[in-house]
Structure 1
């Protein structure tokens, strides 16, 4: 089946209101809506079960999509009127693509086709107006970039809630969300450091995020004494842009989060203090380990070769 994935000039526009959508899905009432969709979604899973690993996954995807539809369709404004509710329609199409692509068996069907299966089960519902004409398959590369932006704002939203909390007991640790922000920001910045991409819509939206995050950091800085840990500045996120890499051997891979843990957490202090001890131990036992290694080589061939690495990093 030809899916015709694409990206439109306004596909990213909903990010102007992204905090509204994230907060809407954090509302407890939002997550209490699933039961009313159970029967219809079970029927959907029966007809589309071959596209998912099991029926329960199909039901869950259907329920998640319909929860968002009903949440956006307040006051019967109808998501069919996308000229009037442009960003709502844009976010709904993104969410449909995200939920289905995340759970579907690769290559089974198009996003549009799967959504039509959900749409057809709710045609008689009093809250639902068919809007399948406004659903399209988003280009996979662009969807991946949208997912990065969404996760950035999702963690930003958590950080904002913590920093603006008035009760001390609501001031949770910033570091988990700040670290996750760094992970996605490094990836996003790497994409936008490419000269061919730095003026793309994605990169423009990333600049908007940077601006919002900087405002949040300034707010944190004013309240720094209220928190037990740090909010990492985007400019201080560890860099994983590799300029030159020569890798031979069996181990290939980098763990960018290690830099965050090493620099900003108590774990880093422990690691740094242990490095000196470890170096001493290695030095003291070097001769012994060499002898052991030579004896082992006499008895059997080692199944791997020592790797060489030539890795450099450049500031963002």
Structure 2
């Protein structure tokens, strides 16, 4: 199992935290807190004003919490996780991470815990790792939409209470189904456990019955299936993205022939056309034609002379043969 991470323990009393959340932007502080924040801001250069504002907002929120605890508007003592998460949200764009770790969080812890010591609360302020922070944002989004759904139902009791409620439940289902694939059954992590806790809370709520536009929550995938699918994808890549990998050797050979033959024919035709035009319409072609004609005439003359010579020899031999005496003796019986 993954190491226990206390950053995830912020959702048990989420409804009470939502009562406190609007007071995050209050900046009414006493002289001591103002002096403290001004001094802390000097460590951040051109981000000084931003750090001072966040410092005042946070210390004011701690003071508001003590008042609400005294009035019992908020009863939860488990506020360290949610206070640290909200502070990380405010400081996410601060680049001086080393100063936050070395100065800001330790000094803020001392100042804020001094305010909360009478209420049994001790804050542990620190930078939340990026992966955990993104997971917490996902979970916060889920619980926030479910909270808005419940508040909408309470406010609109005399009207159509499900008019807007289904919208929030649809948002819950969309976010949940997007991230549940990260949590196969065999994986035991704080994030996956909190997703499972949310599913149980979400499923228990039947105020609006079944909303037609809300998809069902997906089940956690089987780890074996997930690994099998991954292996199959590696062995059988997408034929659209990598079509060559699915072709047989004969198909590849056929495709090569299919390309080479037309190219060869085109080259031969182009060469023939070039030679024809060169021979027919250029000065060099005219000279070449004249030489060829002259050569043909010479060859014809030679053929005629040879034929004439052969004919004369034949006639001479024929005449000679005609004048040759033959002496044939016959023996009498």
Q: TM-score, normalised by structure 2?
A: 0.50
**1:93 positional shift:** 2.9
Q: Deviations over 1:44-101 (max 9, x none)?
A: 5632434xx7444323422342243223334788xxxxxx97622233233333332x
* Alpha-carbon separation, structure 1, partners of 2:173 and 2:193: 18
Q: Which residue of 208, 216, 222 corresponds with 1:220?
A: 208
Residue 89, structure 1, aligned to residue 80, structure 2: yes
Does the Cα contact within 8 Å between 1:45 and 1:56 map onto a contact in 2?
no
* Alpha carbons 1:153, 1:209 under 8 Å: kept: yes
CA distance in 2: counterparts of 1:112 and 1:184, whole angstroms: 36
Aligned counterpart in structure 1 of residue 128 of structure 2, from 138, 141, 148: 138
Question: How big is the alpha-carbon RMSD for the aligned residues of Structure 1 and Structure 2?
Answer: 4.3
Q: Does structure 1 retain, via aligned residues, the 8 Å contact 2:62–2:112?
A: no
Candidates 16, 28, 42, aligned match of 1:47? 42
Shift of 1:158: 0.7
Corresponding residue for residue 13 of structure 2: 17
Unaligned 5+ runs, structure 1:
1-5, 78-83, 249-316
User: Shift of residue 232 of structure 1?
Assistant: 4.7
CA contact (8 A) 1:41 1:118 kept: no
> Is contact 1:14–1:88 with CA below 8 Å preserved after alignment?
yes
Look up the match of 1:151: 141
Q: How many Å apart are 1:153 and its aligned residue? A: 0.7
Contact 1:178 1:231 in 2 (8 A): yes
Partner Cα distance (1:185, 1:69) in 2: 32
CA 119–200 in structure 1, closer or farther in 2 if over 3 Å, else same = closer
Q: Is the 8 A contact 1:152 1:185 kept in 2?
A: yes
Any residues of structure 2 matched to 1:115-194 within 5 Å, and which?
Answer: 115-119=105-109, 127=115, 134-164=124-154, 165-168=156-159, 173-174=164-165, 177-193=168-184
Q: Structure 1 residues 44, 215: CA separation in 2 closer, same or farther (over 3 Å shift)?
A: farther
Is the CA contact (8 Å cut-off) linking 2:146 and 2:168 kept in structure 1?
yes
Where structure 2 has 5 or more consecutive residues not aligned to the other structure, the ranges are: 220-225, 242-333
Aligned pairs for 1:297-312 within 5 A: none
Question: 1:163, 1:33 → 2: CA distance?
Answer: 28
Conserved? CA contact 1:163–1:171, under 8 Å: yes
Question: 1:133 & 1:148 partners in 2: Cα distance?
Answer: 23
Q: Residues of 1 paired with 2:27 and 2:12: CA distance?
A: 28
Cα distance in 2 for partners of 1:121, 1:153 equals: 30
What's the offset of the Cα at 1:207? 0.9
Q: After superposition, what is the alpha-carbon deviation per residue over 1:214-253, rounded to whole angstroms, capped at 9, x for unaligned?
A: 122x11118x7xxxx85554349xxxx99758596xxxxx
What TM-score do you get using the length of structure 1 for normalisation? 0.53
* CA–CA separation in structure 1 for the residues paired with 2:102 and 2:174: 31
Q: Judging changes above 3 Å, is the alpha-carbon distance between structure 1 residues 49 and 170 closer, same or farther for their aligned structure 2 residues?
A: farther
Which of 50, 60, 70 in structure 1 is aligned with 2:63?
70
Q: Residues 44 and 117 of structure 1 are in contact (CA less than 8 Å); yes or no, is this contact kept in structure 2? A: no
Q: Is the 8 A contact 2:146 2:202 kept in 1?
A: yes
Q: Which structure has more RCO (C-alpha within 8 Å, separation ≥ 6)? A: 1
Corresponding pairs, count: 218
**Counting helix residues as a fraction of each chain, which structure ranks higher?**
2
Greater gyration radius: 2
Q: Which residue of 2 aligns with 1:283?
A: none
Q: Aligned residue for 1:292?
A: none
Deviation of 1:10 after TM superposition, in Å, equals 4.0
Q: CA deviation at 1:43?
A: 0.6
